[in-house]
Structure 1
C-alpha cells in the first residue's frame, strides 16, 4: 500500500537525538491543522446559537466534546504512526469493496458538509465586511483554490505556521470581545456542570448534537492519521513511540486552544444576548447586535462587529486548507485515485457551492435559510461521525494493524466504544423526534 499523502510524507525533519523541548517544537504543527476543524464557521453558528438561546448550559457539551476529541485524535495519531497508514487506507483494508465504497461516499459527504460551512461562513464574512451580495460572495469562495495553491508551494511547515497565526488571531479577537462583554462568572462556571435540559429540551439537544458534529468532525480523523506521518521520525518501535508521545502532546495543546475559542464564542452569545433576543444567535443578528452594542461605547461596538467579521473570514479560509487535504486523503485511501491538489480542490468546492446556490435561488438572499443550511451541515456531521469512529476503534485495537506494542490501552478502548454508542443513541433519538414532528 502506498504512503499517505506521499508528497509530504517524511518531509519535515525530526531529530531523534534532540532534547525533549526541541523534539516538541519539531512536532508542533499537525495539531494546528487538526484544531482548525474544531473552530470553523460551523462551530461558530452552533456555539453562538447555543449561547444566545440557552445561556451557558451547553458549555458542558463543548467540554465533553473537546475531551472526546482529544481521545479520538490521539488514537488517530497512534494509528498513523504505528501502522504507517491513514484511517481511509485502514478502513479500505478492513472492509469489502461495497462497504469501502459506502464509507468513502459518507466521508466525501462529510467533507462536502464541512466545505458548505466554510463557503457560507466566508461569504457571510465578505458580506458583513464589504457588503458583497451573498451570491457573489459564494462565487468568490470558489477562487480560494488559487490562494491554497500559493500556500501549498511554500511547503508544509509554512502551511502550519500560517494556520497557527490565523488561529492566534481568532483567539485574541474573542478574548477581547468576551472581556468587553463582562459575562456573569458564576453562571459561566455553572455551565460546565451537566444539565438535564440538554436532553429534555429538543431544541437544546439539536444544538448540542450540532456542537458535537462541529467539534468532533469526521474529516479530522482522516486528516490527523495522515499528516502525523509528515515528520521524518525513525520508523522503529522506539522512534514510533517517541513520535506518538509528541504528536499527542501537540494535539492536546492545540485542541485545548480550540476548546477555549469555542467556549469564548458561546459565552459571547450568552453574555450579550441570552434572555433578551429570542431569535438571536446567527451571524447577521450577532453582527448587527455587536454593531449597536453599548459595550465599549459607539466605537467599541463598531470595533467588536468588525473584528467578529474578520475572525469569521480567517476561520473560513483556515478551514479551506484542511478540507482540501482531507479530501485528497479520503480519495487516495479508499479509491487509490490520485488527483492534483488544485483539481481536487476545484471539484470539491464546486460540488459544495451547488446546495448553497440552490438555497439562494429558492429563498433569495435569505440570511435565515442560509444559516439554517449551515446548522444542518453540522448535525449531518454528527450523524456521520460513528461511521468514522467505529473503524478507528477497531483498527487501533487490532494488533495485526498496530503491532502488539501500540494497540489501545483498555481504558481508551472502553471510553471510545462508550462514546460511539452514546453518540449513536442520541442521533437515533434526534431523528425519531424530528420525524414525529411531521407525522
Structure 2
C-alpha cells in the first residue's frame, strides 16, 4: 500500500508527504461502488475516537468540581465548548481530506522551523498533560473497583500499552470497536446514575443559558476553562486530522467533498454523544452533591464514596468506578495515536507504537506518582484540574494554525472552508485566546 498521497493541492512548501500512521493509512474500504448508506457507515468511527478525548478523567474532575460548586450553571460552558469542538473537528477533517496532510504535517510544511518546533513542543506538553489525567483516572478507577492503592494503580497503567499493541495488530476497525464498546458501557453507567439522582430538569435546562457570572467570578472562570480544556483538547485536533486518513476515499473533487461530508457527520454525531456524557457528569454532581450541600467535591474517590448514601443505592459507586476505568482505557488509546501523529508529522520521526507509548507514559507517571504519594486523593484531583487548564492554555497554538490553513484557498483549493465557517472558527479562536488571557491576568492580579 502506498503511504503517500499523490493527489495534492498547491500552496505548500513540499508536494508529497509520507502519511502519519502509515501502517493503517487508507486501510478502511469506503465502498466507493456501494450505496450511499454503506459509504456513510464506512466513515463512522474516527469521530468516536475523537469523542473519547471529550470525556476523559480530567473532564470528570472539572465537571464534578463545577457541578458540586455551582450546580447546573456550568452546563452552558459544556454546551458552548462542545459546539466549538464540532466546528474545529469539522475543519480538521476538511484539512486532511483536501490537502492530504494532518495538522502536524501542515504546520511543519507551512511554517519555518523556529515556529514549527515550538508548536511541536507545545503539542507534546498537551499530550503529556492529557496522559497525566489518564494515569490518575485509571489508577483511581482501579482503586474504586479493586481496592488497589493509587500508587500501585499508577504504575500498572504502564501495562496498557499491550492492549493498544494487540488492537493495532488486529486492524484499525478493531480499535474503533473497542473504543465504541467502552463508550457504550460509560453511557449505560451514567444513564442509570442519572435516573437514580432524579435531577430537577427545569434547573438543568436553565443551566444551559449563558450567564455573565462565568467571566466575573474568577473561580467559576477557572473551572470553565478547565471544562473548555477538557472538551476542546489540542491533541484531538492533531488526532482527527490523522485518523480520518485511514479511510480509502477517492481522489476526485466530488469524492473528496463526499468524504468531508461523511467525516463531518461522523464527528458531529460522536461529539453530540460526548456532550450527553459530559452533561451527565455535571448534572450528577449538581443533583447529588450541590443539592445535598456538598459544594467542594473535587476528588473522584470522594465522589465515589458519597454516591451510595446520597442516592441510597449501593450499585451507584460501582457504576461510577467502572465508567471511570473505561474512560481511562479509552483515552489511553487515543493519546497514543495522537502522540504518533504529532511526532511523525512535526519531526518526520518514526517510533514503534509501544516505544512511543512507554516514552509518553513514563513522563506522565513521574508527576502522577509523586502527587499520589505526597498528597493523596486531594492532590491528584487538583492535578487533574490543573492538567485541563494547561490544555486550555495550549489550545490556541493548535486552533489558529488550523483556521489559517483551512481558510487559505492556495492550500485547500476548491475545498477551502466557506467564509461563514471561517468567521465562526476565528470567533472561536479569539474567544479561547481571550479567556486564557483573562485567566492569566486573574492569576497574577490575585
TM-score in terms of structure 2 length: 0.95
Deviation at 1:204?
0.8
Q: Does 1:421 align with 2:430?
A: yes
Deviation at 1:278?
2.4
**1:61, 1:224 → 2: CA distance?**
23
Pick from 265, 268, 279 the counterpart of residue 263 of structure 1: 279
**1:134, 1:185 → 2: CA distance?**
36
Q: Does 1:193 align with 2:209?
A: yes
Q: Does 1:162 align with 2:178?
A: yes
Pick from 368, 388, 391 the counterpart of residue 378 of structure 1: 388
Partner of 2:306: 289
Q: Does 1:211 align with 2:227?
A: yes
**2:297, 2:338 → 1: CA distance?**
33
Deviations 1:127-157 (A, max 9, x none): 1111111111100001111111111111100
Partner of 2:12: none
**1:26, 1:94 → 2: CA distance?**
31
Q: Does 1:123 align with 2:146?
A: no
**1:413, 1:26 → 2: CA distance?**
28
**1:104, 1:321 → 2: CA distance?**
20
Deviation at 1:17?
2.5
Counterparts of 1:39-438 in structure 2 under 5 Å?
A: 39-275=55-291, 276-293=293-310, 295=311, 297=312, 300=313, 302-361=314-373, 363-364=374-375, 366-403=376-413, 405-437=414-446
In structure 1, list runs of 5 or more residues that go unmatched. none
Partners of 1:218 and 1:384 within 8 A in 2: yes
- After TM superposition, the runs of 4+ consecutive aligned structure 1 residues lying more than 4 A away are none
Deviation at 1:50?
0.8
**1:4, 1:78 → 2: CA distance?**
17
**SS of match in other structure, 1:149:** helix
Deviation at 1:124?
0.6
**2:114, 2:410 → 1: CA distance?**
23
Deviation at 1:435?
1.8
**1:261, 1:279 → 2: CA distance?**
21
Partners of 1:397 and 1:408 within 8 A in 2: yes
**2:174, 2:139 → 1: CA distance?**
26
Partners of 2:298 and 2:381 within 8 A in 1: no
Higher alpha-carbon deviation: 2-11 or 321-330: 2-11
Partners of 1:53 and 1:281 within 8 A in 2: no
**SS of match in other structure, 1:211:** helix
Deviations 1:140-199 (A, max 9, x none): 001111111111111100110111110011011111101110100111000010112111
Partners of 1:324 and 1:341 within 8 A in 2: yes
**1:147, 1:45 → 2: CA distance?**
25
Higher alpha-carbon deviation: 92-101 or 207-216: 92-101
Partners of 1:118 and 1:319 within 8 A in 2: yes
Report the RMSD for the aligned CA atoms in angstroms: 1.0
Partner of 2:49: 33
Partners of 1:3 and 1:9 within 8 A in 2: yes
Q: Does 1:5 align with 2:15?
A: no
**1:176, 1:303 → 2: CA distance?**
10
**SS of match in other structure, 1:169:** helix
**SS of match in other structure, 2:415:** coil
**1:229, 1:102 → 2: CA distance?**
25
**2:139, 2:227 → 1: CA distance?**
21
Deviations 1:59-98 (A, max 9, x none): 1001100111000000000001110000000011111111
Partners of 2:298 and 2:382 within 8 A in 1: no
